[in-house]
Structure 1
């Protein structure tokens, strides 16, 4: 069960033309925005990465516009965990439950999930907030992550799992995000 005080959201490589080439991109972007907005309601930290931003460009405005005081971490490795600044940033949160959103599911998201699982983190892939250039590669990536021990979930499941009850003082805010 996800716990607000133990969760962090990773937002992986929503950049430039690559982001625009994703399968079902409108739904992908909308669910990523819901996740980011929901984490803000709960006070859950975000860690954002960009794959070689000098070549792929910055995070797309429709996602980056939601970051509050978060600076993306530039990386060259496909796994975020191969980047020392990423590892330090994650360690500083003190959190062990990781929610993954981003692109591409079968490359950067997958390799990051494997490294996080190997390091003992509980990894949940927000399946409707990850994608690849083809739907088939996305599905293969999700299957590989699940086979490695990652949990598959979806945007609304995450937000309501963190909320726990309709009696929460955050219910109206979360409901307004998902409707």
Structure 2
């Protein structure tokens, strides 16, 4: 196994974006749905700009993993966005890992109906080898620096204020006086 695999380095030509089960019908029940959609949209815009492979699925069909496998051996990493954290997203992530594909879960683009399932979904994925990251971190990592030709275009996407994805709920943050 190369050092790149062990540290979860993202390489643009070998990475795909997978949007898992983001459907309008879930809007009333998914915590922070609007923020998840906005952040997923940022990921999608950047992925298109960078010429990344993109997979969009609804529900959890076994063939969504097959869709990634059909991309061939050139894909070894997936950026994963979607709903619900502890069900479809987690199952997809674990299936991909079993098949030797690195998974980078974009935590500010993934949610569940409640925060308990969301947080424990993240914990379970992390325990299984999924890299937990944010939209901004993933995009800047995949660019490998400001000398990338699309850096300025992607920078415009990430410099917009991020929506509140509810990730700090439950954390004790110090009050600033």
TM-score class, shorter-chain normalisation, is 0.7 to 0.9
Determine the structure 2 residue equivalent to 1:90.
68
For residue 24 of structure 1, report the CA deviation from its aligned partner: 1.4
Tell me, yes or no, if the aligned pair for 1:19 and 1:103 is still in contact at 8 Å. Answer: no
Counterpart selection for 2:133 from 134, 153, 156: 153
Structure 1 runs of 4+ aligned residues shifted over 2 Å read: 86-89
Aligned partners of 2:70, 2:95: CA distance in 1, in Å? 17
Counterpart selection for 2:32 from 10, 21, 24: 24
User: Aligned with 1:17: secondary structure?
Assistant: helix
In structure 1, stretches of 5+ residues that fail to align are 52-77
User: 2:113 matched to 1:105?
Assistant: no
User: 2:155 matched to 1:175?
Assistant: yes
Determine the structure 1 residue equivalent to 2:58.
50
User: Aligned with 1:115: secondary structure?
Assistant: helix
Aligned partners of 1:87, 1:151: CA distance in 2, in Å? 18
* TM-score, normalising length: structure 1: 0.79
Check 1:17–1:87 CA distance in 2 against 1; reply closer, same or farther (3 A cut). closer
For residue 88 of structure 1, report the CA deviation from its aligned partner: 4.1
In structure 2, stretches of 5+ residues that fail to align are 1-8, 160-177
Counterpart selection for 1:40 from 45, 48, 55: 48
Aligned residue pairs total 149
Aligned partners of 2:23, 2:65: CA distance in 1, in Å? 21
For residue 167 of structure 1, report the CA deviation from its aligned partner: 2.1
Check 1:137–1:12 CA distance in 2 against 1; reply closer, same or farther (3 A cut). same
Tell me, yes or no, if the aligned pair for 1:12 and 1:103 is still in contact at 8 Å. Answer: yes
**How much is the aligned-residue C-alpha RMSD, in angstroms?**
1.3
